Amino acid sequence: MSILQKLAILLLLPLGAIAQSNLIAKSLNKIQLADQFPGADPCIQIQNAIAALPVNGGEVDARGFLGFFSCSANPFGSILNHPGESVHLYLAAGSTFTTSAQWIIPLGSVVSGENSAPGGGRGTTLVASATSFPTNIPVVFLGDALQSEGPLIENITIDCNHVTGSIGIFSDRVQELGGVRNVSVINYKAIGIEMLDRSSLAPGTGGLPENYILDELQLGGDAGSTCIRVRVGVGGQRGGAHITCSSSLVETGNLSCSSGVVTATFPANTIPNGASIGVEGGTNLSLNGLFTVATSSSTQLQWNQTGCSGTATAAIVGVMAQNGVQLDGSDGVYSQIHCEFTVDCVLTDSVALQEGWVTRALAISGVTGQASVKNIVHLGDATHPEDITLTALQRCIGPNSATQQCATNVLQDDFNSLTLQDASLAWYLVGHSSIPGQGSTLLSSSPNVSWTLPNPFLLFHNPSSFSQLGTQPNGSLTYCKDCTVTTPASCSTANPSGCVCSGGGTGDFAKRVNGTWLCN
């Protein structure tokens, strides 16, 4: 074949094929198959697959790893603190990675498993090595840069494997589009998920993380652990829903009542005497409620329930073996927190600010399941007054609204040694004085709180006239600018009812007693 003929063939035929080949190569360059790369273990192979991606990152498909594997390194280790290089890592259902190294998910990167094991079937699982994973650190850390948008972990089970001080997921920097979604965290010694703003930032100055996702979570740790602990900056936490926290002390058995004492019988009992328990009465809903164990043995529990009657089968008794949710309200805004708890106590707590401000109250909605639930706000020696608003947790037990046990709000004013709950609390205004020896100002709708006004002067800037008094509730008090006693001769300390007010005078204090305005 002549040279001219060869040139003609090259010009007429291969150009389109060559262009198409280049397009395919560029496209495949953005998606790498981790099991096709060399490495001592899957995490090293993933690192090598990430290294083959373009400078701005891409996708790594590690779903070729099926079965049980050991990992010695963070799969994202080679791109930490490389802003602009983001990777989406896919892991397969049916794969378990036992790691001796913390996984740090960089800014903009995502780890996606396939299903969460407790949701049905065996999904993707990340396990901390019982022998080589470091103590007192999180298994997964979200974010590498100071402000990390988008690091996300989803559809996976994280097993902390009872490692000392273990935390499932932690971040002090995750922001928009990042967070945790459809994840189970189990067997943690310390905390399931912890999100804290940076300790170096003073309250009120903002912080990290903020505007992140907590959604579709299932948590179950060791006795004494905490499911979720959150403190956010002023940007707030946005988008949290359906958080289930499981207890390790749940027992199913039969109940019987005699003379105001309920006896629960189990194949094996581990709930101790004096424990606060939640009871779901099974076939006898009248035995539902929150109680304190009076006696405990290896097969039985007893507690007091006035007016109880009958027996029950398939009853459930749960005791809090761990804290549910701890939300520190000292420096942040919380919204859209929807918790679905089974048998645990939800503890929402706040702490006094360094500068003495009264801490913000927290609102949690939609708590369901058997629970001993409290929304607690602590007040310290604050120097500035703030309104305290507590939103009731919507959780009640039993069909009778008059007798059912409901979730409670608790306001603990540590400075004034006052504890108020839902039944005695609607609003509470406290202004702690900065003057040594001068008392605090306390105003509340609670009948258990006496109003305290350290200021010696109480002024009515808008006095009433007699014609304006009307029919106010008994106990009302005002200054009436034209009131006087109608019959002074009958008005005395011994006969206060003779001190009825009328108009046309020079002014007096008027008070409403038994449906009458008195001016004594």
Can you read off the two tokens belonging to residue 140? 């997964």
Backbone angles phi, psi at 76, to 5 degrees: -100, 10
Report pLDDT digits (tens) over 124-151: 999 999 999 999 999 999 999 888 899 9
Q: Which residues contact 91 (CB under 8 A, 6 or more apart)?
A: 62, 63, 65, 97, 111, 112, 113, 114, 124, 156
* DSSP characters over 77-138: GGGTT-TT-EEEEE--TTEEEEESS-EEEPTT-EEE-S--GGGSS---EEEE-TTTSPTTSE
Can you read off the two tokens belonging to residue 258? 């005699």
H helices then E strands: how many in the chain?
3, 42
Report pLDDT digits (tens) over 289-321: 778 899 999 999 999 999 999 999 988 887 766
262: closest CA among 253, 404, 270? 253
Say what the pTM is.
0.62
Task: Judge whether residue 185 has pLDDT over 70.
Answer: yes
Question: Can you tell me the distance from the alpha carbon of 183 to that of 518, in angstroms, rounded to the nearest whole number?
Answer: 66
Report pLDDT digits (tens) over 64-73: 999 999 999 9
Question: Can you tell me the distance from the alpha carbon of 316 to that of 35, in angstroms, rounded to the nearest whole number?
Answer: 47
Task: Judge whether residue 371 has pLDDT over 70.
Answer: no
CB 185 within 8 A of CB 156: no
Question: Can you tell me the distance from the alpha carbon of 183 to that of 124, in angstroms, rounded to the nearest whole number?
Answer: 10
Which pLDDT does position 270 carry in this prediction? Answer: 81
CB 308 within 8 A of CB 348: no
Q: How many CA atoms lie within 13 A of 111 on its CB side?
A: 27
